[in-house]
Amino acid sequence: MANISILLVDDRVTILESIKGFFSDFEIKPTLYSACNEDEALSMLEGSCKVFPVPKIVLIDVNRTKDEGMHLLNTLRSHPDLKSMLVFVITNSVSQSNKLAALNLNIAGYIPITFGVQELNNCFSVLNDYWNIIEL
């Protein structure tokens, strides 16, 4: 995954550390940005704290801080410059309504994280293979 940038939108330090650990363990060196909430994410994507290069992949938990995750997903999908981003939902929610709502917004994948670190590593290993195959 050469020269790829990823934005993680999640306020859980354990998820951020697990993802960083996976990338380090597998010697993957993406640029990993993290935002705790929708406002931070939008600021990094188009606002006063815009990052470069703009991430091609967004990992978001649509169930964090009320409906903020779904609102961010809707905002990304309606934004002319951001709507083509690959968005993967990572969540510990079992809500079928949230899952269907996210899938209807053309997410690239819905990843339940109701399991441990080893399973999360397996999941990111598969995602890494996917990201290396597709053309961004």
Tens of pLDDT along 53-71? 889 899 988 776 556 788 8
- Could you give the domains of the chain? 5-129 (3.40.50.2300)
Q: CA angle 20-46-97, nearest 5°?
A: 65
pLDDT, tens only, 81-132: 999 999 998 887 777 888 898 899 999 988 877 666 667 777 778 887 887 7
**More confident: 2 or 131:** 131
b/e map of 71-107 (b: 16 or more CB within 10 Å)? ebbebbbeeeebeebbbbbbbebeeeebbebbeebeb
Total-model pTM: 0.85
| Residue 116: predicted pLDDT | 64
Mean pLDDT along residues 72-84: 93
The structure tokens 């993406």 sit at: 30
**Are the CB atoms for 46 and 79 separated by under 8 Å?**
yes
Residue 132 burial class via C-beta count within 10 angstroms: exposed 0-12, middle 13-18, buried 19 and up = exposed
| Residue 80: predicted pLDDT | 94
Q: Would the pLDDT of 2 be above 60? A: no
